[in-house]
Structure formats: structure tokens, C-alpha cells
Amino acid sequence: MNNIYRLITARVVLTLSFLIGGLSLFAQPPGGPPPGGGGAAGGTPPCWEPECVPIDSGLVFLIIAGIALAIRMFYTQLKTA
């Protein structure tokens, strides 16, 4: 019975340490002024050109991998049934 309490305590402590430690990963340094040279009001948006958008061919590879995984899972389900 004592081992069960130790195991539960260890799991709770480990889970809480990951949750609390993960909060620091969301921190970002403060940003500067927008790159368009605009001030507080009436300036250009921070960056709307296509080179500022981080969607490249990696998204295409991710979609292809997802489709391939879905086909494989569907095939194995048909094979086992």
C-alpha cells in the first residue's frame, strides 16, 4: 500500500513539474516597432508580405504524410477485418 502512495505522489510531482516548467516556454522577448517604420497609430502593418508568412513547402509534406498515414491505417484495418 505504501508503494502505491509513492507511485501516485511521484506521478503527481512529475506532472506538476512538467506543467509548471512548460509555462516558461511560452515566453517571448518584447517586440520592437513595426518594420514599416510606422509609429503607434497610422503606421503600416507589422509584416504582411508573403516572405513574412512561415507557410512553405513543409506544409505540403505534412499534408502528404497525413494522407499516406490515413491510407496505411485504412489498408491495415481492411486487411485485419
For 49, phi and psi rounded to 5 degrees? -70, 160
Residues 68-76: what's their mean pLDDT?
94
Give the whole-angstrom CA distance, residue 23 versus residue 51. 30
Residues 32-38: what's their mean pLDDT?
55
Give the whole-angstrom CA distance, residue 29 versus residue 35. 16
pTM reported for the whole predicted model: 0.36
DSSP assigned state of 27:
-
Question: What CA–CA distances, in Å, run from 40 to 28, 32, 37, 70?
Answer: 21, 11, 10, 48
